[in-house]
C-alpha cells in the first residue's frame, strides 16, 4: 500500500462538541446529570483521510481527536459530571479498533504518532478518574476488538453483554502480525493483573473471549445477558458514581484558540512556533503573561480559558501536536521563553496557594498533561536561557523537560532562572517523580536546595545543577549554532531511541511501560516485513492472499 498521508492536509486538533462527527457527548437527566455519556457512532464515510471507510465503529485520528476534546471539556465545562459511561450507538458492535486500512496506508512515523496520541487520550481517561475523581464505565453493548477493547480497559469498570456473540478481543497479533497499539498488553497484565498465560491465550485468539469466560479471566467485570444489560450497567454506574471523588468546581468554557499559521510556523497569543526547514530546527517560544491575571480562583473562573495558565498551555499543546504530526523533518526544537518573570511567578503563587480548589486543580492538571506531552515528543529539545527570558517556576519546567539547557553567562545582562512552589511535585512526569527529582536522582538533596534558592544567576544555576552548558557572551552564538547543527545532523531514529531511554530514569509506572517498552516493541514490529512488507499481514489484510512470513525469530 502506498504511504499516503505525508502529502495530505495537516492534522489539526481543535474541535468542539457541536462539530463532533463520530462521538456524542450527552448529559442525561437521570442521576441529576452527574453521569456523562460518551457515545461512539463513527460515520463510515467521514474518515480523516480519504481511502478507508470507517466500518464497524473503527477509528482514525479524527475520531480520537473528538474523544480527547470531550474528556477535556467534561473536566472544565461540566462540573456536575462525576462519572462517565463510554458506549456505542451501533448494534452488536462497540468498537473494532483502529482502522486497519488507515494503518496499512500510513507512514511509519504517522502510525507511531497516531498510537502515541491515542495512548495519551486513554491515559487521560485514567487520569480523569485518579486525579479528578471522575471514574468511567465502559458499557460494551457489542464486540470490542483491538483498540476497542483497549479503550474499554482504560475505563475503571467494564460490562459486556453476554448475548452469544459479543466478545472482547485482541486480534492484532494473530490477524495483523502487529501488537495492540494502545497499551493493551500492558494494561492486561499490569492494570487488570490478568495471569500471563491467560493474557497470552487471549491475545492470540482472533475471535476473542465472551461472556462468563471473559469475567473469569478478568477481562471484563460483569457479563449479564442482553436482557439485563441495561439494568446491570445502571447498577454499576451507580456504584462508580458512589465512589466519585470529584470536588466542586466552577465551570469555564474552553474558547477556540486563535492562531495564525503559515509555512513559517504558527503564532498564538502566548506561544510562537517558528520553523526553519533548512536547518530542521524549530523555535518554540512561550511568552509570560502581559496583562492582569487572576489572583483568586473566582477571578480565574471569571477570566476562563483566556487566563494565561490555561491559554498558554493549550496553545503549547497544540504547537507540540503540530510539531509531532505536521513537521516530521524538524529534528531539534529550540525552547525559549520571554517576558516578565514576575508575572509567571505571580500566576504560580496563585495556583499553588489555591491548588485544592477544583478549577485551579484542573488547570494544574492540564499544565501537567501538556508538560508530559513535551516529555514524550520525539524531537530533541534544547532550552536557551538568555537575557529577558523567564524560565521560572512553571516555565522552568520547560527547561527541565529539555534534553539540554544552555544558559548565557553574560557580563552585561542579567540572566536568571528561578524555581517556584510549582516545581515541588505538582507536575509529575510519567515516572511519578517531579522533573527536579528525576534530574537529581544521584543527589536528591539538590531538589530541596533548588526549591529554596529562588532566583539564580547563571553561575548559581550551573552550581545548582540546572544547566548543561553556560557559554559566555563571546562564545554563545557559535556554541549554540554548532550544538543545533550537530544535533540536527544526527540520525533521527537514534535520537528518538536515545531520548526515550534517557528522559525517564527512576521508577517505572504503567505509563512509562506503555510509552517506553510497549511502544518500542510496537514500533519495531511496525516496520518488520512480516507486518508491513509487501507480503506482510497488515498489507494483505482484507485481500485474498494470505500473509507470507519469514519464520526467523528475533
Give residues 136-165 in contact with a copy of itself (rule: CB under 8 A): none
| Residue in 144, 132, 194, 124 with CA at minimum distance from that of residue 511 | 124
Query: Quick check: 399 and 383 in contact, CB under 8 A?
Result: yes
Q: Which of residues 259-298 bind a copy of itself (CB under 8 A)?
A: 280
Cell of 429: 512526569
Size of the site for a copy of itself (CB under 8 A): 92
| Residue closer to a copy of itself, measured from CB, 138 or 179 | 179
Integer Cα distance of 105 and 128 in angstroms: 33
- Shortest spacing between CB 225 and a copy of itself, in angstroms: 26
Element (H, E) at 186: helix 184-186
**Dist CA 507 CA 193 (whole Å):** 19
Q: Which is nearer to a copy of itself, 133 or 432 (CB)?
A: 432
Which one of the spans 124-132, 160-168, 260-268, 530-538 is the region binding a copy of itself (CB under 8 A)? 530-538
Alpha-carbon span 265 to 273, nearest angstrom: 5
Q: Return the CA Rg of the chain.
A: 24
471 binds a copy of itself (CB under 8 A): no
Cell of 477: 552564538
349-408: which residues touch a copy of itself (CB under 8 A)? Answer: 378-379, 402-405
- CB burial class (10 A; 0-12, 13-18, 19+) of residue 30? exposed
**Site membership for a copy of itself, residue 423 (CB under 8 A):** no
User: Measured from the CB of residue 490, what is the shortest distance to a copy of itself in angstroms?
Assistant: 6
Among the candidate windows 59-67, 69-77, 97-105, 501-509, which touches a copy of itself by CB under 8 A?
Answer: 501-509
**What is the pattern of x (binds a copy of itself, CB under 8 A) and - over residues 73-112?**
----------------------------------xxx--x
Q: Which is nearer to a copy of itself, 13 or 549 (CB)?
A: 549
Cell 491467560 sits on residue:
198
CB of 432 to a copy of itself, least distance (A): 12
- Contact between 520 and a copy of itself (CB under 8 A)? yes
The one segment of 52-60, 232-240, 293-301, 494-502 that binds a copy of itself by CB under 8 A: 494-502
* Beta carbons of 531 and 525 less than 8 angstroms apart: yes
Classify the C-alpha dihedral 144-373-106-204 as positive or negative. Answer: negative
Q: Are 185 and 179 in contact (CB under 8 A)?
A: yes
Could you say which residues in the range 197-236 bind a copy of itself, by CB under 8 A? Answer: 197-201, 203-204, 218
Hey, which residues between 429 and 458 contact a copy of itself (CB under 8 A)? 438-442
Return the axis-axis angle of helices 61-77 and 108-132, rounded to nearest 10°.
20
Contact stretch for a copy of itself (CB under 8 A) within 287-295, 347-355, 390-398, 486-494: 486-494
Q: Cα separation of 299 and 318, whole Å?
A: 25
Binders in 173-202 for a copy of itself, by CB under 8 A = 173-174, 176-179, 185-186, 188-190, 192-201
Amino acid at each position: 500500500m502506498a504511504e499516503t498521508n505525508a502529502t495530505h492536509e495537516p492534522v489539526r486538533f481543535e474541535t468542539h462538541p457541536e462539530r463532533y462527527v463520530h462521538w456524542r457527548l450527552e448529559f442525561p437527566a437521570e442521576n441529576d446529570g452527574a453521569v456523562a455519556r460518551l457515545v461512539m457512532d463513527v460515520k463510515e464515510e467521514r474518515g480523516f483521510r480519504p481511502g478507508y471507510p470507517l466500518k464497524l465503529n473503527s477509528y482514525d485520528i479524527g475520531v480520537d481527536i473528538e474523544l480527547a476534546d470531550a474528556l477535556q471539556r467534561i473536566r472544565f465545562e461540566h462540573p456536575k459530571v462525576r462519572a462517565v459511561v463510554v458506549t456505542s450507538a451501533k448494534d452488536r458492535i462497540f468498537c473494532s479498533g483502529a482502522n486497519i486500512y488507515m494503518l496499512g496506508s500510513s507512514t511509519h512515523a504517522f502510525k507511531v504518532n497516531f498510537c502515541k496520541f491515542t495512548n495519551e487520550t486513554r491515559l487521560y481517561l485514567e487520569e480523569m478518574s485518579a486525579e479528578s475523581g471522575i471514574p468511567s464505565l465502559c458499557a460494551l453493548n457489542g464486540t470490542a476488538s483491538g483498540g476497542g477493547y483497549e479503550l474499554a480497559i482504560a475505563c475503571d469498570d467494564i460490562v459486556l453483554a453476554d448475548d452469544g456473540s459479543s466478545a472482547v478481543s485482541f486480534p492484532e497479533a494473530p490477524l495483523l502480525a502487529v501488537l495492540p497499539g494502545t497499551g493493551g498488553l500492558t494494561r492486561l497484565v499490569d492494570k487488570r493483573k490478568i495471569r500471563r498465560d491467560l493474557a497470552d491465550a487471549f491475545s492470540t485468539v482472533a475471535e476473542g473471549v465472551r461472556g462468563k469466560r471473559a469475567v473469569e479471566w478478568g477481562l471484563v467485570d460483569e457479563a449479564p445477558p442482553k436482557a439485563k444489560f441495561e439494568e446491570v450497567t445502571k447498577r454499576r454506574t451507580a456504584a462508580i458514581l458512589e465512589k466519585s471523588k470529584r470536588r466542586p468546581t466552577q465551570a469555564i468554557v474552553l474558547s477556540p484558540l486563535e492562531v495564525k499559521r503559515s509555512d513559517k510556523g504558527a503564532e498564538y497569543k502566548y506561544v510562537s512556533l517558528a520553523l526553519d526547514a533548512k536547518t530542521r530546527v524549530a523555535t518554540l517560544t512561550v511568552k509570560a503573561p502581559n496583562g492582569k491575571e487572576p489572583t483568586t480562583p473566582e477571578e480565574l473562573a471569571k477570566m476562563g480559558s483566556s487566563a494565561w495558565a490555561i491559554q498558554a498551555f493549550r496553545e503549547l499543546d497544540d504547537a507540540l501536536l503540530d510539531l509531532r504530526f505536521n513537521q516530521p523533518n524538524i529534528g531539534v526544537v529550540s525552547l525559549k521563553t520571554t517576558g516578565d518573570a514576575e508575572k509567571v511567578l505571580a500566576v504560580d503563587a496563585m495556583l499553588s496557594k489555591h491548588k485544592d480548589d477544583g478549577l485551579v486543580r484542573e488547570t494544574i492538571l492540564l499544565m501537567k498533561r501538556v508538560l508530559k506531552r513535551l516529555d514524550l515528543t520525539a524531537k530533541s529539545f534544547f532550552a536557551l536561557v538568555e537575557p529577558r527570558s523567564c524560565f521560572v517556576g512553571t516555565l522552568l519546567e520547560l527547561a527541565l523537560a529539555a534534553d539540554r539547557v544552555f544558559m548565557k553567562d553574560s557580563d552585561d545582562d542579567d540572566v536568571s532562572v528561578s524555581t517556584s512552589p510549582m516545581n515541588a511535585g505538582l507536575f509529575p512526569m510519567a515516572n511519578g517523580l517531579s522533573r527536579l527529582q528525576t534530574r537529581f536522582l544521584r543527589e536528591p538533596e539538590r531538589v530541596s536546595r533548588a526549591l529554596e534558592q529562588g532566583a539564580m544567576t547563571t553561575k548559581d544555576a550551573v552550581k545548582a545543577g540546572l544547566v548543561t552548558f553556560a557559554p559566555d557572551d563571546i562564545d554563545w552564538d557559535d556554541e549554540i549554532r554548532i550544538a543545533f547543527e550537530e544535533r540536527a545532523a544526527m540520525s533521527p531514529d537514534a535520537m528518538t531511541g536515545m531520548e526515550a531511554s534517557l528522559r525517564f530514569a527512576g521508577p517505572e509506572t504503567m505509563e512509562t511501560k506503555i510509552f517506553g517498552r510497549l511502544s518500542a516493541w510496537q514500533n519495531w514490529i511496525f516496520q518488520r516485513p512480516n507486518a508491513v512488507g509487501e507480503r506482510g499481514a497488515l498489507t494483505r489484510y482484507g485481500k485474498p492472499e494470505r500473509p507470507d512470513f519469514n519464520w526467523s525469530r528475533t
